[in-house]
Structure 1
Amino acid sequence: MTLSLKERILPLADVKRAAFNARLAPSLDPKRFLGARTPDLKTIAKSLTSKEKAEFLRSLPHGYIDEDFIHIHLLNTLKTLPEARQAVLAFLPSIESWCQTDSLTFPKIKTDDLLELALEMLDRPESYGRRLGIIWIMKRASKLEYDPARFFLQKALTVDGDEREIQLAKAWLLCEFMIYQPELAWKTLQNPNLDSQIVRTAIQKCLDSRRVTGFQKTNLKRLRQTLSAQ
């Protein structure tokens, strides 16, 4: 079954797109990229029978990143916490790059359930497991009321790890909170105990974002100047 799936992906290969995608994820072997278009991979995922889906999800690790993306598309259709927990723990050993974590968002899982799973992931030994937890908090908790949003933000920011994938996720998290929870994000960025490099990276992400207001960007530039003077 897996071979037939590969046979369906191979004709979709695009050398230029594969090379471009590989440059975005330098931690992965470039040979694992076929460069198939995301809509085409989603079409394949939707066409699989229940039996084919079950067999494919068990056939880890996959050879091509394109297969990982099909795997992720299938996981993103799950609707219950137990299913999501089991599936992500099975897939986690195969995750080696941000391009795998950041597409896995479980959009059909209830927010309370996904945030529960996010807290569990923050304690994982795998750095990309912790990144998943941060990403899910960014996606869901940033839109909560102030107090619960603050709780989850602090949980994510206190996650252990100086790996690049963790530091960048924290900066992205703060940028997203600046959009949905500007008061909370601003207070957090001014916290002297927060890693200054994370703050600088978060500020730059905010300055690059079209969703952050001009007024906010002016204040962020002032904060960056203050950091530079220290």
Structure 2
Amino acid sequence: MNITDLHKKLYELQDLKYRDMQIKIIPNIDPESVIGVRTPELKTMAKEMLKAGDYMAFLGNLPHKYFEENQLHAFIISGIKDMDVCMEELEKFLPYVDNWATCDQMSPKIFKKHREILLKHVKEWISSGKTYSVRFGVGMLMEHFLDEDYDPKYPEMVAKLRSKEYYVNMMIAWYFATALAKQYESILPFIEGKRLDDWTHNKAIQKCVESSRITEEQKTYLKSLKVRRT
């Protein structure tokens, strides 16, 4: 499918009410770049392109004009079954990721079988200083390394991060809230020791309080650890 035909199809799937909602929840992207195509439609398109095997020209056409093209790109990468190809295309695409939705909805299935390789790249991403590469790296640690592959050195990596970027700090808070739900005893000292910056520390606690995976007793204690900001 050439780019002209792709754009035509995206506009055929346009939902203006959904477009308005997307613009509100992703405020840092250009409203003119949003067509308004629902995620299930984009995922279906990605599956069709993967099945047909005619997606490489599209992946090479960077930067994209529309937000939906970035979403489609993320979903295609998420479905690539060859680890080397997947990682190569991901590394090419990450510098062009400019919003939390594209970043967070990109989750290659093949990573589950290659966590050792993934971890090497995660370390590079979180040390890159690039907002959405850092966010993606922390997100991958949260998704793949909080269960059977958990190691206390991973939250140590995240706790050392310092950023002025809202979307990085929100992911760090999300990481620690999820980590508390899964590895409470191991993660609690990071909160008790106030290892995060004040805003991220409090946001992590807030997310825990809002979570159904944290007990009421734990929530009460965590709330007592909030930093009182003046």
Find the partner of 1:59 among 58, 61, 72.
Answer: 61
Q: Which residue of 1 aligns with 2:178?
A: 176
Residue type at the aligned position of 1:187: P
Question: Alignment partner of 2:188: what SS?
Answer: helix
Inter-CA distance 47–79: structure 2 relative to 1 (3 Å threshold): closer
The RMSD of aligned alpha carbons is 1.8
Residue type at the aligned position of 1:116: K
Offset from partner CA, 1:35-57 (integer Å, 9 cap, x none):
2111111111122221x201111
Deviation, 1:74, is: 0.6
Residue type at the aligned position of 2:11: L
Please give the TM-score of this superposition, normalised by the length of structure 2. 0.91
**Gaps (5+ residues) in structure 1?**
none
Deviation, 1:228, is: 2.1
Offset from partner CA, 1:34-91 (integer Å, 9 cap, x none):
22111111111122221x2011111111111111111111100124443233112211
Offset from partner CA, 1:69-117 (integer Å, 9 cap, x none):
1111110012444323311221122111111111112122123332222
Judge conservation of contact 2:71–2:102 (CA < 8 Å) in 1: yes
Q: Which residue of 2 aligns with 1:42?
A: 43
Q: Which residue of 2 aligns with 1:112?
A: 116
Question: Alignment partner of 2:225: what SS?
Answer: helix
Q: Which residue of 2 aligns with 1:228?
A: 228
Q: Which residue of 2 aligns with 1:161?
A: 163
Judge conservation of contact 1:171–1:202 (CA < 8 Å) in 2: yes
Judge conservation of contact 1:61–1:94 (CA < 8 Å) in 2: yes
Offset from partner CA, 1:17-48 (integer Å, 9 cap, x none):
11111111111011211221111111111222
Q: Which residue of 2 aligns with 1:17?
A: 18
Judge conservation of contact 2:131–2:168 (CA < 8 Å) in 1: yes
Give the Cα–Cα distance (whole angstroms) in 1 for the partners of residues 162 and 124 of structure 2. Answer: 13
Q: Which residue of 2 aligns with 1:123?
A: 127
Question: Alignment partner of 1:142: what SS?
Answer: coil
Judge conservation of contact 2:194–2:201 (CA < 8 Å) in 1: no
Judge conservation of contact 2:34–2:68 (CA < 8 Å) in 1: yes
Confirm whether residue 144 of structure 1 aligns to residue 120 of structure 2: no
Give the Cα–Cα distance (whole angstroms) in 1 for the partners of residues 193 and 106 of structure 2. Answer: 30
**Gaps (5+ residues) in structure 2?**
none
Residue type at the aligned position of 2:185: E
Deviation, 1:180, is: 0.7
Residue type at the aligned position of 2:88: Q
Question: Alignment partner of 2:228: what SS?
Answer: helix
Give the Cα–Cα distance (whole angstroms) in 1 for the partners of residues 69 and 219 of structure 2. Answer: 40
Deviation, 1:215, is: 2.0
Please give the TM-score of this superposition, normalised by the length of structure 1. 0.91
Equivalent pairs, count:
225
Q: Which residue of 2 aligns with 1:33?
A: 34
> Which 4+ residue blocks in structure 1 deviate beyond 6 angstroms?
none
Q: Which residue of 2 aligns with 1:76?
A: 78
Question: Alignment partner of 1:209: what SS?
Answer: coil
Moved more, 123-132 or 19-28: 123-132
Inter-CA distance 229–117: structure 2 relative to 1 (3 Å threshold): closer
Identity across aligned pairs (percent)? 27
Give the Cα–Cα distance (whole angstroms) in 1 for the partners of residues 72 and 61 of structure 2. Answer: 12
Inter-CA distance 213–14: structure 2 relative to 1 (3 Å threshold): same
Give the Cα–Cα distance (whole angstroms) in 2 for the partners of residues 161 and 118 of structure 1. Answer: 17
Confirm whether residue 188 of structure 1 aligns to residue 196 of structure 2: no
Moved more, 104-113 or 61-70: 104-113
Question: Alignment partner of 2:37: what SS?
Answer: coil
